[in-house]
Amino acid sequence: MGDSLKATIATTVGSSLIFETASAKTPQVDLAPSNASLNSFTPFVFVQIPLPYEKNALEPFIDTMTMDIHYTKHHAAYIKNVNEAIVAENITYQTEKEFFDNASKLSPKARNNAGGAWNHNFFWQIMKPHVEGTPNGKVLEAIDNSFGSMPKFIEQFNAAAMARFGSGWAWLIKDSDGKLVITSTPNQDNPLMDDAEIKGTPLLGLDVWEHAYYLKYQNQRKEYVSNWWNIVNWDEVAKLLG
C-alpha cells in the first residue's frame, strides 16, 4: 500500500472470530472522493500488514525475489483493487467478517480481491524464520486427536495442497464443533466465506498459486509444499487455536 494511503489511517476496527487476532485488527482509511460529505458512512477498507520479517528471512525455503514480488505486487494489488471496489460499488460492510459473511453477494472484483487481501495478511503471519521442530502442547494434541499423528496430518494437508487444481489455497481450520479439518479453496476464496464448501476458522493456510513458488520451484509444487513446513509459525497457530 502506498504512503498516501497509509497516511490516511484513522482508527482500528476489531472483529470477532479470527478477526480478533492481530492479523485482523484493520484500520479504517478514508478513501471517499472529494464529495465525501454527501455520503452517510466512511467505508471500511482493507490494509496490508507490514511483513513480520525481512523479505530474505524465509530463505532458502521461500526466496527473496518471490517474497518481494508476492508482497509488493500481488498482495498490494489485492489491497488496492478491493478498496477501489468498496468505493465504486458503495459497499457498506464495516468489517472483514461482514465481507466474508456476505461473500456470495459481492461482485467478482470485490470478492476475489477481499479474499486475496485477507488471505495474504494471514499467510505472512503463519510463517516465520528459524522454526525448530514440530508443534507441541495443545496444537500437537489437537492434531493427534484429529488426524492420528503429525506425519498423518502433514500427509493429508500436502495431499489437499497438491490436489487443488490451478490456483488456490490449502487450509487447516477449526469448524463450528471445534474439530480440526483440512480443506482447500479455489482462487482467493477462504473458509470464512458464507458459501465456502467447508466453513471454519483458519488456523493454517498455504498459498498454492504459482506466483507463490514458481520463481524458485518452477513446476515442482510438491517440493514447495514439502519445504514450507520448515517455516510454519506454530506459535501463531497455537494462538489461533485458542
Rg (CA), the chain: 18
**Distances 96 to 12, 83, 164, 179 between C-alpha atoms, Å:** 12, 12, 25, 23
| Least confident range of 72-76, 131-135, 150-154 | 131-135
| Least confident range of 2-6, 66-70, 171-175, 177-181 | 2-6
Q: Give the residue-averaged pLDDT of 109-127.
A: 97
| Least confident range of 21-25, 147-151, 177-181 | 21-25
**Distances 210 to 44, 112, 165, 196, 221 between C-alpha atoms, Å:** 30, 16, 11, 22, 8
At residue 107, what is the residue type? S
Q: What is the pTM of this model?
A: 0.84
**pLDDT band for position 25 (cuts 50, 70, 90):** very low
Residue for grid cell 460492510: 93
Q: pLDDT of 215-239, one tens digit each?
A: 999 999 999 999 999 999 999 999 9
**Distances 201 to 16, 90, 95, 228 between C-alpha atoms, Å:** 11, 28, 16, 21
Beta strands (DSSP E) in the chain are 9-13, 26-29, 168-174, 180-186, 201-207
Domains and CATH numbers, the chain: 3-125 (1.10.287.990), 137-241 (3.55.40.20)
Q: What is d(CA 14, CA 24) in angstroms, rounded to the nearest whole number? A: 7
